[in-house]
Amino acid sequence: MAQVKRIRRNVSGIILLDKPLGFTSNAALQKVRWLLNAEKAGHTGSLDPLATGVLPLCFGEATKFSQYLLDSDKGYETLAQLGKTTTTADAEGEVLQERPVTVGRTDVEAALPKFRGQISQIPPMYSALKRDGQPLYKLARAGEVVEREPRSVTIARLELLAFEGDTARLAVDCSKGTYIRTLVEDIGEQLGCGAYVAELRRTQAGPFTLAQTVTLEELEAVHAEGGNEAVDRFLMPSDSGLLDWPLLHFSEASAFYWLNGQPVRAPDAPKFGMVRVQDHNGRFIGIGEVSEDGRIAPRRLIRSE
């Protein structure tokens, strides 16, 4: 008997998932996509299976703007286990070295200022970065270690929340591309005892916080009662991650030309930068960039949502 092809729905928006422990970001995305029966889906940057917390999932037209969430600042809480290092710099790796923990809360607090502001990090081998088309983590699993270029990242906040025994709980606000595993490992070396990430929770991604998230269990319960369409109520507008951008309102004529790829003028436009655009009905129709001549050039368009 021929298998009937599933017809997916054309739905758009963002669901803020509190990613569960043990899931890859893609596995979490595919699960929520199935619950929605969504045609098009994408996430905004990977969280390790060990990590939980804020994971914006984009569907339909919202996938056009996922890059801007990927580029946004992030916030984390992490539990650093002192006295050990592992192959992956987290609890999932094999222990490489054990050293006695002779430091206290004061020592940890004294070590943190060195890691605030703009710092340099060497990405870990167990990461999704690619070398000659191969993810580094695949090379690492094969026993290979390759040279990685240092990266400049910014740590806007690094605070010790708690210290107990041989563990330190830290709050971190950082720029995109920051590896918390590397940060914790480097702090451990600074303390002279080594450290790895025992727990990691993302508390913020761009403008989104944990308070706005929904769990996979909540989504599954709603789906069980009302099906795919019931899950739609958790979809936020496609421009939810861009609400801090300047907003322009176009006339009906300007919107028509702009949606057909032509730059237009707007009296309330800023002098430069990226903007969100709504039509005369208040509907989000895309993002644009202010050009040197003051016109708004279309960059990503939404024709219907």
The residues carrying an active-site annotation are 48
- The total of other beta-carbon atoms located within 10 Å of residue 125's CB is 19
Which runs of E-coded beta strand occur in 69-142? 74-82, 84-86, 95-98, 117-121, 130-131, 134-135
Phi, psi of 258 (to 5 degrees): -65, -45
Say if residues 195 and 167 touch (Cβ distance below 8 Å): no
Phi, psi of 116 (to 5 degrees): -95, 155
Distances (CA, A) of 78 to 9, 64, 81, 85, 183: 38, 31, 10, 16, 10
Name which of 116, 24, 77, 112 is nearest 209 in CA terms: 77
Name which of 256, 264, 253, 252 is nearest 289 in CA terms: 264
Specify which residues 199 forms β-bridges with: 79
Three-state DSSP state, 289: strand
**Cβ-proximal residues to 185 (8 Å cutoff; 6+ apart), any chain:** 85, 89, 124, 194, 195, 196
Question: What does the DSSP 8-state code read for residue 210?
Answer: G
Measured distance CA(294)–CA(265) in Å, rounded:
7
